[in-house]
């Protein structure tokens, strides 16, 4: 039986990158208490749920995705008690909190790995994937040799510091070092995964966003073995924590939701996915081909075809999770100007499922090229500190000296900041807030409301129905466009339209949310 946390149907998520969000103690690095101090802001902006990137003990060679201790908050962020207080304060405000779960690998500093490196067999010998000898590095995988006393090479998932945990192999071609995924020798990783989840759920967490959820079992081309593991996890949660949510970073919703049992799956910026077509797509000449670029004039069909298919295949089983961006992507503002972003947010926040907004996207923070920090490389520019107030030191992120900041803030005179945008009724922040509050108060626009395409023209005009009687009409282009759909009582608008008996003329770069009704006058 599928158990769905009842709070998910109304959730609107905000992603917090902890080291860059708010520094409460002046050391230049964001922390848990800083996040807690900004819960009122997050709620005021209209978000009732948040996902926090990894905040566990780590050497930070991959910004915390190299976990050294899953059960302890990294000292630079605070303490476990601080995180428990964040859960409590969020719940007081009717909010829910997802932590980041990294199940596929650990840091090479984790005590499990250190024990696995031992020359003497022990209960952790098979916790990671080792070859037969230090000289043996089978093709098709990444290996490290000569970095342990144990006579073997160990497999990596990503960076040098991230040895792969052993969930077994779907197809065992060499039993001298490969273990089948149903073999009891590799059950330790599964049991630990359950225990880690229970540890934080018992302390008040509301679930987990799961990093690279499809990367567990090796040589698993159809992911059936990896899905088998996640079904075990889902059954465990259904029984013991039915209100806990798990959202996968998989980018294959039918597989992640229907086969693996996740409550939701991210629509990432992969080729031919909706997020790519809508916000980030470029042509071979480097010019934007994103649907919301005013000069692109591309039809919405390309982004809608795979999206509507996935919606149909997953309906009733779980939710698609469209995103504005994340810590691995170039900022949305690098692709779309402010008006285009307002239209993009209108689309994003009126979709079914669970929308996720990356911190700072609601004010149009920019991608800021900076030297790589903690394995960020080209991603570092999207991880810069949140910009709270143009008139405060370091834009309100921290009172630390500039050279002590985790990353530098935007030093431009027109750096987008929360305080200034909250005072401007026409700001991007005000638009996002209005859309969120409309979604919260209108069930048609929430996760379960049906999506039906009313009109999709070759020139780019798109009209769709949500739920019983809520409609969204968008003209992302820089020219007037006509649409057969009649605009009724307006609930929200960017730009405007002229209504005629048989056609509606949409001004350039217009988005309107409305109810259908008879009309007698122009708007």
pLDDT band at 283 (very low <50, low <70, confident <90, very high): confident
pTM passes above 0.75: yes
Secondary structure of 287-301 as H, E, C letters: CECCCCCCCCCCCCH
**Pairing mode of beta strands 481-483, 504-506:** antiparallel
Contact (CB, 8 A) for 355 and 346: no
pLDDT above 60: residue 414: yes
Q: What is the pLDDT of residues 181-208, one digit of tens each?
A: 999 999 999 999 999 999 999 999 999 9
| C-alpha separations of 508 from 165, 292, 309, 362, 424 in Å | 52, 12, 29, 22, 22
Separation CA 323–CA 356 (nearest Å): 5
pLDDT at 286: 84
Q: What is the pLDDT of residues 109-121, one digit of tens each?
A: 999 999 999 999 9
Domains and CATH numbers, the chain: 6-103+187-441 (3.20.20.80), 105-166 (3.90.400.10), 450-515 (2.60.40.1180)
Tokens 């004039």 — which residue? 297
What is the mean predicted confidence (pLDDT) over 240-249?
98
Residue among 156, 112, 153 at smallest CA distance from 136: 153
Separation CA 441–CA 435 (nearest Å): 10
């Amino acid at each position: 039986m599928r158990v769905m946390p009842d709070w998910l149907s109304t959730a609107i998520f905000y992603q917090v990158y902890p080291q860059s969000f708010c520094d409460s103690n002046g050391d230049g690095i964001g922390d848990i208490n800083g996040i807690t101090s900004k819960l009122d802001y997050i709620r005021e902006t209209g978000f009732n749920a948040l996902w926090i990137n990894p905040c566990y003990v780590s050497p930070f060679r991959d910004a915390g995705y190299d976990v050294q201790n899953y059960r302890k908050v990294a000292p630079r962020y605070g303490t476990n008690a601080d995180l428990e207080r964040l859960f409590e304060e969020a719940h007081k405000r009717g909010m829910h909190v997802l932590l980041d779960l990294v199940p596929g690998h650990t840091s090479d500093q984790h005590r499990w790995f250190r024990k696995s490196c031992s020359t003497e067999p022990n209960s952790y010998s098979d916790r990671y994937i080792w070859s037969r000898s230090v000289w043996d590095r089978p093709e098709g995988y990444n290996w490290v040799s000569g970095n342990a006393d144990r006579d073997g090479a160990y497999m990596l998932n990503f960076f040098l510091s991230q040895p792969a945990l052993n969930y077994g192999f779907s197809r065992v071609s060499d039993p001298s070092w490969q273990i089948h995924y149903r073999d009891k020798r590799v059950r330790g990783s599964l049991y630990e995964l359950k225990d880690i989840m229970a540890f934080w759920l018992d302390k008040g967490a509301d679930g987990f966003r799961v990093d690279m959820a499809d990367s567990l079992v090796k040589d698993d081309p159809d992911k059936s073995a990896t899905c088998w593991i996640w079904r075990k996890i889902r059954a465990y949660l259904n029984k013991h924590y039915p209100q806990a949510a798990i959202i996968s970073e998989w980018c294959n919703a039918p597989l992640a939701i229907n086969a693996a049992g996740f409550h939701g799956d991210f629509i990432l910026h992969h080729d031919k996915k909706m997020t790519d077509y809508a916000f980030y797509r470029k042509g071979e000449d480097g010019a934007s081909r994103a649907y919301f670029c005013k000069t692109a004039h591309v039809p919405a069909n390309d982004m809608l075809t795979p999206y509507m298919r996935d919606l149909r295949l997953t309906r009733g089983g779980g939710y698609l999770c469209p995103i504005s961006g994340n810590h691995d992507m170039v900022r949305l503002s690098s692709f779309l100007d402010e008006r285009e972003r307002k239209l993009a947010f209108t689309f994003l926040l009126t979709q079914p499922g669970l929308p996720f907004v990356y911190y700072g996207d609601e004010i149009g923070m920019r991608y800021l090229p900076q030297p790589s920090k903690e394995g960020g490389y080209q991603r570092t520019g999207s991880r810069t500190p949140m910009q709270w107030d143009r008139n405060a030191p370091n834009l309100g992120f921290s009172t630390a000296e500039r050279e002590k900041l985790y990353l530098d803030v935007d030093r431009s005179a027109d750096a987008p900041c929360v305080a200034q945008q909250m005072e401007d009724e026409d700001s991007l922040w005000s638009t996002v807030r209005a859309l969120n509050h409309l979604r919260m108060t209108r069930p048609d626009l929430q996760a379960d409301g049906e999506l039906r395409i009313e009109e999709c023209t070759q020139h780019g005009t798109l009209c769709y129905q949500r739920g019983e009687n809520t409609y969204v009409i968008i003209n992302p282009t820089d020219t007037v466009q006509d649409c057969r759909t009649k605009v009724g009582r307006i609930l929200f608008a960017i730009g405007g339209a002229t209504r005629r008996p048989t056609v509606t003329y949409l001004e350039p770069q217009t988005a309107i949310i409305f109810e259908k009704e008879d009309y007698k006058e122009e708007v």
